[in-house]
Amino acid sequence: MAGGIGSRFWPMSTVKFPKQFQDILGTGRTMIQQTYDRISQIIPNENIFVITNKEYVELCGQQLPEIPEENIVGEPMMKNTSACNLYMANKIAGINPNAKMVVLPADHLILKEKKFIEKIELAFKLVSENDYLITLGIKPTRPDTGYGYIQYLSNEKDEFFKVKTFTEKPNLEIAKTFIESGDFLWNAGIFVWNAQSILSAFDKYLPEMVQQFNYCEYNSDREIECIDLIYPKVTKISVDNGILEKAKNVYVIPADLGWSDLGTWTSVYQNAEKDDNNNAIASKNILTYNSKGNIVRIKNRNKAAIIDGLKNYIIVDTDKSLLICPRDNDQLIKDYVLDLKNFKKGERFM
């Protein structure tokens, strides 16, 4: 899944060039390339599909030349994750009705690759024997209010557990009680299931959407035309809300993956390499003086920068825009962009 526009990463991430196609950590590979590198260890290229916005299909092909062109699928508009999951389940089941699927967000960080592969292989084993919908759950390290939480039934020690409830973005008080109770995990948005299992769940919980998608003939010449026709009418709902919160066969595999959704500059800062002054600076030609705890991203690698006297700031510079704000204000970036849009010619900055 590579359809987001990453507005919290402005000005690095823009509508034309969103986060998943950026080397946001400064490692030399973009987020979607890192996701490909990780999963291609166990999935052959011809079985790797990307679903993204139509506008990014070309970009995606440039960044992932290993994947067959026809496996990069463009949605005509953003419709949240139920639609794209139903679309891809239909398409993949059309190729192989017994296919097992792993669904991965394109822009997440996973440091423990070996553990990740282990857990995915465990999940594949489980779904090949059972009608399970599986999600990976991350042990929470802080009462983060930006994540979804999964409560599981932990009667005995095991490698996977039945899910009791999903709670999307709780407030801080509730998040704290979740952490204390010990039987909550973060929903990493990484799913494993049989094509048939997820299609059955859609039949049950989003039957109208299934009807709309059944109208199309997948992997045919008319697929794109048909998808363009039905998409405008499709309901915008996440697969968590639309399916997983309702289904009775959802299981979670706790996984210590060194995971971050890199949802904010702060989480990028936390996961980036830092110098002796705790500055996360991915580029040479940047000199800091009396500056600590900053994250600095200069898109033009040949550009010089002098940063003096800043503590805990986000500094991002692109050809079109410059952002300087305290790291604590990283949730305000969407608002800044809105304010810019209210300017006469603001549209072009996002």
Q: Is 339 in the site for a second copy (CB under 8 A)?
A: yes
At its nearest, how many Å lie between a second copy and the CB of residue 348? 8
Cis amide linkage into residue 326, ω under 30° from 0: no
At its nearest, how many Å lie between a second copy and the CB of residue 350? 9
Q: Is 346 in the site for a second copy (CB under 8 A)?
A: yes
Q: 265 — phi, psi (to 5°)?
A: -60, -35
**Binding window for a second copy (CB under 8 A); candidates: 89-97, 107-115, 234-242, 332-340:** 332-340
At its nearest, how many Å lie between a second copy and the CB of residue 304? 4
DSSP 154-184: -SS--S-EEEEEEEES--HHHHHHHHHHS-E
At its nearest, how many Å lie between a second copy and the CB of residue 342? 10
Near a second copy by CB under 8 A: residue from 78, 111, 153, 287: 287
User: Given the complex with a second copy, which of 274 and 299 has the nearer CB atom?
Assistant: 299
Q: Is 276 in the site for a second copy (CB under 8 A)?
A: no
**Binding window for a second copy (CB under 8 A); candidates: 32-40, 169-177, 262-270, 303-311:** 303-311
**Residues binding a second copy: number (CB under 8 A):** 37
Near a second copy by CB under 8 A: residue from 169, 284, 301, 334: 284
Q: Is 129 in the site for a second copy (CB under 8 A)?
A: no
* Contacts made by residues 33-36, CB under 8 angstroms, sequence distance 24+: 33/63, 33/64, 34/109, 35/104, 35/105, 35/106, 35/107, 35/108, 36/64, 36/66, 36/67
Q: Is 343 in the site for a second copy (CB under 8 A)?
A: yes
User: Position of tokens 């950026």?
Assistant: 22
Near a second copy by CB under 8 A: residue from 167, 270, 283, 329: 329
Please report, for residues 97, 102, 224, 255, 292, the alpha-carbon distance to residue 92 in angstroms, rounded to integers and kept in the order given. Answer: 7, 11, 15, 26, 49
Instruction: Please check whether residue 323 is in contact with residue 336, taking contact to mean a CB–CB distance below 8 angstroms.
Output: yes
Instruction: Please check whether residue 171 is in contact with residue 145, taking contact to mean a CB–CB distance below 8 angstroms.
Output: yes
Q: Pull the structure tokens for residue 316.
A: 């991002």
Neighbouring CB atoms inside 10 A of 111's CB total 12
Query: According to CB under 8 A, which residues from 8 to 67 bind a second copy?
Result: 11
Near a second copy by CB under 8 A: residue from 96, 111, 322, 334: 322
Cα separation of the two ends of the chain: 21
**Binding window for a second copy (CB under 8 A); candidates: 78-86, 236-244, 248-256, 328-336:** 328-336
User: Given the complex with a second copy, which of 9 and 116 has the nearer CB atom?
Assistant: 9
**Binding window for a second copy (CB under 8 A); candidates: 85-93, 148-156, 273-281, 313-321:** 313-321
At its nearest, how many Å lie between a second copy and the CB of residue 349? 4
**Binding window for a second copy (CB under 8 A); candidates: 68-76, 203-211, 249-257, 308-316:** 308-316
Instruction: Please check whether residue 193 is in contact with residue 101, taking contact to mean a CB–CB distance below 8 angstroms.
Output: yes
Neighbouring CB atoms inside 10 A of 154's CB total 13
The DSSP H or E segment spanning 95 is: helix 80-95
Binding site for a second copy (CB under 8 A): 11, 284-285, 287, 289, 298, 300, 302-310, 313, 315, 317, 319-326, 329, 332-333, 336, 339-340, 343, 345-346, 349
